[in-house]
Structure 1
Amino acid sequence: MLIVTALGGNALLRRGQALTAENQRENVAIAARALAPVAMEHTLVVGHGNGPQVGLLALQGAAYDKVETYPFDVLGAQTEGMIGYMIEQELGNLLPFERPLATLLTMVEVDAADPAFANPTKFIGPIYTKEAADRLAAEKGWVFKADGESWRRVVPSPSPRRIFELRPIKWLLERNTVVIAAGGGGIPTMYAPGEQPGGRRRLVGVECVIDKDLATELLARELDADLLAILTDVDAIYVDWGTPNQRAIRSASPQALAGLAFPAGSMGPKVEAACRFATATGKRACIGSLKDLSAMIAGTAGTTVTTTADGIVFAGKSTEGASS
């Protein structure tokens, strides 16, 4: 099978953990131990988040006032290389030496008219107290929103429209390469208005962060993948999350999930991506914990989203609807 995974940024750097290279490498090594058995049996593409990492680079850049902070498209390219390097190295330590691995810097097109530019929702960087967030908002003009009990910076997150490196990704997969691509949702780009001399359009970077789940879903669909696995720090989709009534969803149809509401900055894009893939392809998407990846592929863990599901099936019982 061709399996495309979306590895959550919080699976690479746990919530509240110091943003050090050592912590990231330790977490990547843990992720590699879950990915390696899958790579041994299947064709594998690894997408990953970069929210904490790109936010840290922006914060570090803002601390040096002699040079303007690099824009998010450049920071996204930096994180693709950094995280891809770690994934390649740790997976390579577990796979046979002759198995090729490749990280591909991946440009993704977005639409300048996307309404997401008027409503930033993508969490990036470390967590803050309300007081620290208010101070940074006043000093730097950043936008913050609540993330659980803490506050984090948010930036626009437009929908991905096209993956430019699709042909080299396919070429690498045909040669049994484990491909790390569309990291952090890809490098956000768009065509500048007006044509250049010779009738060519000019591709430019964009100040935003594309959601990695939606970008990985587009990649999975374009590659005709057999399964999209969205890996995060919870073991399933839940309704009534964080309350005594929370329940894990074992399987669901896209239509049933459309009737529920999920947080825009966290589970919402994961559910949307899984529903898009299942609806467009008729194949399975699953959402769950990194440690359960092999069981998710087998259909015995996580939440499976498929057009053949009958409403929503909770762990232990089933129903046609629910509220979140």
Structure 2
Amino acid sequence: MTKRKIVVALGGNAILADDASAAAQQAALAKTAKSLVQFVKQGDQLIISHGNGPQVGNLLLQQAAGSTAKNPAMPLDTAVAMTQGSIGYWLENAMDKALADEGLTQDVATVVTQVEVAPDDPAFTDPSKPIGPFYTETEVAAEKQAHPDNVYVEDAGRGYRRVVASPKPINVKESAVVNALVDAGVIPVSVGGGGVPVVREGHQLVGREAVIDKDFASEKLAELVHADLLIILTAVDHVFVNFNQPDQKQLTDVTSAELNQYIQENQFAKGSMLPKIQAALDFVNNRPDGKVVITSLANVGDFLANGSGTIIRK
């Protein structure tokens, strides 16, 4: 069987549910690792990416609460790097155990990844990426008073969240490093939280206050490392059209042309499914021989056994 190079983008539910403690997140990742090891068992070359929206938002709140002149809070790009490190550490440990339990000996390594964005990206003047916890209407009013420079919006009917700039990735600085690790038989954890957003200034990369969407960053990485498959793991087994309507329909095999038509019909929610669909389209348009799967972590076994999930092709 030919080895497939696969980028798996973990959704937030693979790391954090309601309990934000380190122990709870490590326990969630232990379950996640058991699912991911199934790819390794069948001989696939795995690259793992992950979100960090709740974690980076919580870290910023912790820093703001304890910030002093002598011990100031770190900027957002640095906070993204910090969560890349902490989540990567947890993932390495979880994968090490899951691999050992299956008698596998591969190493796992986290790459603190810089993702280049355009300095004139319009997202910098139109913040849209939710980070951190959900707030009620009363709580968000207090947050606005405490942090008047922050922007908060209602997020998919679940409450209010802070939003920050979310520019599109144009390059992954460490993509060659990721490929070298894969070639050496190592499982890389990369573009965590969408990567550290940086812009090029001469010979230097400079961090920016932003959070890159992890699905777009995962797509860009998958494109640059010439992956065969991009798997975007989310909360549902399939993508649906007419979602939550009496005539809702799950998508199984779908083409890029069909998805473009569904986008025209506003079938996908902007804050949740639409970015995943757009990332999938970017990948199959740039890698016509590749494909994308959108499914849930719980459905990984059924996908591997039966091809279950929403499969997107050019």
Give 1:58's aligned residue.
60
> C-alpha displacement at 1:242, in angstroms?
3.5
Q: Which amino acid aligns with 2:150?
A: W
The gaps in structure 1 that reach 5 residues or longer are 196-200, 308-324
Secondary structure of 1:95's aligned partner? helix
Equivalent residue for 2:209, pick from 207, 216, 220: 207
Give 1:249's aligned residue.
251
Q: Partners in 1 of 2:19 and 2:119 — Cα distance?
A: 35
Q: Which amino acid aligns with 1:54?
A: V
- Asked if the contact 2:128–2:163 (Cα under 8 Å) also holds between the matched residues in 1, the reply is yes
Q: How many residues align?
A: 298
Give 1:198's aligned residue.
none
Give 2:87's aligned residue.
83
Give 1:121's aligned residue.
128
> C-alpha displacement at 1:297, in angstroms?
4.5
> C-alpha displacement at 1:65, in angstroms?
3.3
> C-alpha displacement at 1:213, in angstroms?
0.4
Give 2:152's aligned residue.
144
- Asked if the contact 2:134–2:158 (Cα under 8 Å) also holds between the matched residues in 1, the reply is no
Secondary structure of 1:93's aligned partner? helix
Give 2:313's aligned residue.
306
> C-alpha displacement at 1:18, in angstroms?
2.5
Correspondence 1:172 to 2:181: yes
Secondary structure of 1:89's aligned partner? helix
The equivalences for 1:205-244 within 5 A come to: 205-244=207-246
> C-alpha displacement at 1:189, in angstroms?
0.6
Q: Partners in 2 of 1:257 and 1:121 — Cα distance?
A: 23
Secondary structure of 2:232's aligned partner? strand
C-alpha offsets along residues 241-294 of structure 1, whole Å, 9 cap, x if unaligned?
A: 344443321121112212223223221111111111112112210101012124
Q: Which amino acid aligns with 1:223?
A: V
- Asked if the contact 1:101–1:178 (Cα under 8 Å) also holds between the matched residues in 2, the reply is yes
> C-alpha displacement at 1:305, in angstroms?
0.7
The equivalences for 1:1-324 within 5 A come to: 1-14=4-17, 17-40=18-41, 41-66=43-68, 67-96=71-100, 98-140=105-147, 141-147=149-155, 148-192=157-201, 195=202, 201-259=203-261, 260=263, 261=266, 262-282=268-288, 283-297=290-304, 300-307=307-314
C-alpha offsets along residues 280-315 of structure 1, whole Å, 9 cap, x if unaligned?
A: 1122101010121243356622211112xxxxxxxx
> C-alpha displacement at 1:168, in angstroms?
1.4
Q: Partners in 2 of 1:238 and 1:23 — Cα distance?
A: 30
Q: Partners in 2 of 1:298 and 1:277 — Cα distance?
A: 24
Q: Which amino acid aligns with 1:161?
A: I
Secondary structure of 2:99's aligned partner? coil
Q: Which amino acid aligns with 1:301?
A: S
> C-alpha displacement at 1:169, in angstroms?
1.1
Q: Partners in 1 of 2:32 and 2:45 — Cα distance?
A: 17
**275 and 296 in structure 1: CA distance in 2 versus 1, 3 angstrom threshold:** farther
**299 and 258 in structure 1: CA distance in 2 versus 1, 3 angstrom threshold:** farther
- Asked if the contact 2:193–2:214 (Cα under 8 Å) also holds between the matched residues in 1, the reply is yes
**297 and 118 in structure 1: CA distance in 2 versus 1, 3 angstrom threshold:** farther
TM-score by length of 1: 0.88
> C-alpha displacement at 1:235, in angstroms?
1.4
Q: Partners in 2 of 1:207 and 1:297 — Cα distance?
A: 39
Q: Which amino acid aligns with 2:58?
A: L
Q: Partners in 2 of 1:291 and 1:190 — Cα distance?
A: 37
**29 and 115 in structure 1: CA distance in 2 versus 1, 3 angstrom threshold:** same
> C-alpha displacement at 1:237, in angstroms?
1.2
- Asked if the contact 2:58–2:132 (Cα under 8 Å) also holds between the matched residues in 1, the reply is yes
TM-score by length of 2: 0.90
Secondary structure of 2:211's aligned partner? coil
Secondary structure of 1:230's aligned partner? strand
- Asked if the contact 1:230–1:287 (Cα under 8 Å) also holds between the matched residues in 2, the reply is yes
**58 and 170 in structure 1: CA distance in 2 versus 1, 3 angstrom threshold:** same
Q: Which amino acid aligns with 2:121?
A: D
Q: Partners in 2 of 1:268 and 1:95 — Cα distance?
A: 34
User: Greater CA deviation, 226-235 or 144-153?
Assistant: 144-153
Q: Partners in 1 of 2:286 and 2:270 — Cα distance?
A: 22
